[in-house]
Amino acid sequence: MVWRVVQWATGSVGRAAIECVRRHPELELVGCWVHSRDKHGRDVGELIGTDPLGVVATSSAEEILALPADAVVYAPLLPNPKEVAALLRSGKNVVTPVGWFYPAAGEADSLRQACAEGGTTLHGTGIDPGGVTEIFPLMMTAMSSAVTFVRGEEFSDIRTYDSPDVVRQIMLFGATPAEAAAGPMLSLLDNGFRQSVRMILDTLGIAADRAEIRGIHDCAVATAPIDSPIGVIEPGRVAAQRFHWEATVGADTVVRIGVNWLMGEENLDPAWTFGPQGPRFEMQVEGDPGNHVVIHGWHPATVGAGLTRNAGIVATAAHLVNSIPYVCAAPPGIRTAVDLPLIAGRAHPRLLGPPVQ
């Protein structure tokens, strides 16, 4: 069976998702919504830098809602629950990296109702949240008994993230420490990462009323001018940030997840570095036995390579796209990673031809 897919938004994740859909043997791209009017009416292949795909982008939500399709990869910069509800009511399943990874009862009732009305499913997933910060560490706990601690963290050079307006205006790199502390980033990240923490707590069997969850933000400033894709970071301005969420039970920290974003490793105060392992994703489980996993490959080798094609963005998109067949087959409702079966990718198209005689 081939599932018909719509891409909603063509930022970095959206463009990568289109590539992943094209290579997935069970999926077909049938539509694409774009925010910008100058992208309206253009072939999607032109937008992602490939040969024409025969799918024309539209800035009309009404056109997308009317389009016969099975699933939407919903990847705008910020979520709009009304848009998602409309897509669900129109009979389209939705996978997204911008929310609803593990919503609590009462957090998304309007979307649950939209799923019921449309007979559809909503699934939030990605890389963090949606992967390193909960799904993969929980898989690792299957190899341990009596788990006492779970950790999932990202360590990235933010210079490789090709979204300068977001880095400067929303993440507030280059701002003063006071401006960054008062900025929107912690609150924007908070809901998704708290859902990751709660998924771990619930799956491990730790009652919510026993655990306290807190968000933590720290920053380092430049000690000398730092060249970056968003311009020069002047001395005294924010050049590295850490956002973490911890769950404690009494005096014990039982979950720690978060991100460490640095504008390189030079001229920082405090003198943060990536350490000998370099940029990476890292997961840890303490139990009997414990385990510790470091993932390389989801970070570009150089800043320039990241600005061309960031492997972490592609991994996020692949997780979304690979989830589609499982989400389409799931019962209606909001389905999280602990509700669905194991999500797997598919082989390269060149390996899927007829058998060699």
Q: Where are any strands of DSSP class E within 137-211?
A: 145-157
State the pLDDT at residue 19: 96
Residue 71: which residues within 8 A CB-CB, separation 6 or more? 3, 4, 5, 6, 92, 93, 94, 95, 324, 327, 328
Q: Of 285, 174, 186, which is closest to residue 244 (Cα–Cα)?
A: 186
The parent domain of residue 164 ranges over 135-297
State the pLDDT at residue 353: 76
Q: Decide if 302 is inside a domain.
A: no
Both 99 and 32 in one domain: the answer is yes
For residues 132 and 331, give the distance between their C-alpha atoms in angstroms, rounded to a whole number: 25
86 alpha carbon, distance to own chain's centre: 22
Both 26 and 121 in one domain: the answer is yes
State the pLDDT at residue 225: 98
* pLDDT surpassing 70 at residue 356: no
Both 177 and 284 in one domain: the answer is yes
For residues 24 and 260, give the distance between their C-alpha atoms in angstroms, rounded to a whole number: 32
State the pLDDT at residue 352: 87
265 alpha carbon, distance to own chain's centre: 24
State the pLDDT at residue 75: 97
Q: How far apart are the first and last CA of the chain?
A: 26
Both 22 and 117 in one domain: the answer is yes
Number of alpha carbons in the 13 Å side-chain half-sphere of residue 208:
9
Query: In CATH, what number is assigned to the domain containing residue 49?
Result: 3.40.50.720
The answer for 105, left when phi > 0, alpha when psi is -120 to 50, beta otherwise, is: beta
For residue 43, list its beta bridge partners: 56
Query: 123-175 pLDDT, tens per residue?
Result: 999 999 999 999 999 999 999 999 999 999 999 999 999 889 999 999 999 99
Give mean pLDDT, residues 306-316. Answer: 94
Q: By the 8 A CB rule, do 64 and 58 touch?
A: yes
Residues of the chain with pLDDT > 90, as a percent, come to: 93
Both 147 and 35 in one domain: the answer is no
Query: 31-75 pLDDT, tens per residue?
Result: 999 998 899 999 999 999 999 999 999 999 999 999 999 999 999
Query: 271-301 pLDDT, tens per residue?
Result: 999 999 999 999 999 999 999 999 999 999 9
Both 139 and 121 in one domain: the answer is no
* pLDDT surpassing 70 at residue 355: no
Both 90 and 225 in one domain: the answer is no
Q: Of 356, 37, 312, 346, which is closest to residue 161 (Cα–Cα)?
A: 312
Both 121 and 153 in one domain: the answer is no
Q: Decide if 104 is inside a domain.
A: yes
Q: Decide if 303 is inside a domain.
A: no
State the pLDDT at residue 126: 97
Q: Decide if 33 is inside a domain.
A: yes
Both 139 and 281 in one domain: the answer is yes
Domain stops at, among 297, 323, 343: 297
Question: How long a stretch of residues is the chain?
Answer: 357
Q: Decide if 304 is inside a domain.
A: no
Question: Strand order in 145-157's β-sheet?
Answer: 268-269, 212-222, 238-249, 252-262, 145-157, 280-288, 291-295
Rg of the chain (C-alpha set): 21
* pLDDT surpassing 60 at residue 325: yes
For residue 285, list its beta bridge partners: 150, 291
Q: How many domains, the chain?
A: 2
